[in-house]
Amino acid sequence: GGPTDIAYPNGMDDFAKIDHVPVAVLNSDKGHEGSFWETNGGGAAQAAVNWLEWQLRGDKQAAAKFTGKDCGYCGDPNWSYEAKRLKP
């Protein structure tokens, strides 16, 4: 939801404190409900699916959204993206 989201400060604090497992945070300017009212949940739902496809199935295309210098979310103007402890 980005800085205007009521949950943003808490979510970013959680992200800052997580230091023992792979973690990524994506923020958009869509507010607290994000894109979940869009068709198929919009970009937020697709990001969650990509994460799960990578983490649970080892999907390399999904991993490329999160890892590498040219990762899919890294240069996407619709998202601000940060990650820690990710391994391709």
Mean pLDDT of 71-85: 95
pLDDT band per the 50, 70, 90 thresholds, residue 73:
very high
> DSSP H helical segments within the chain, as ranges?
8-17, 42-57, 60-64
CB-facing half-sphere around the CA of 16: CA atoms within 13 A:
6
**What stretches of 3-71 adopt beta strand conformation (E)?**
23-27
Contact 79, 73 (CB under 8 A): yes
* H or E segment and range at residue 81: strand 80-84
Closest CA to 28 of 9, 43, 48, 7: 43
Domain ranges of the chain: 8-84
Distance of alpha carbon 75 from alpha carbon 24, whole angstroms:
15
For 28-60, the pLDDT digits (tens) are 887 777 777 888 888 889 999 999 999 999 999
> Token digits for 75?
């240069």
Identify the pLDDT of residue 51: 97
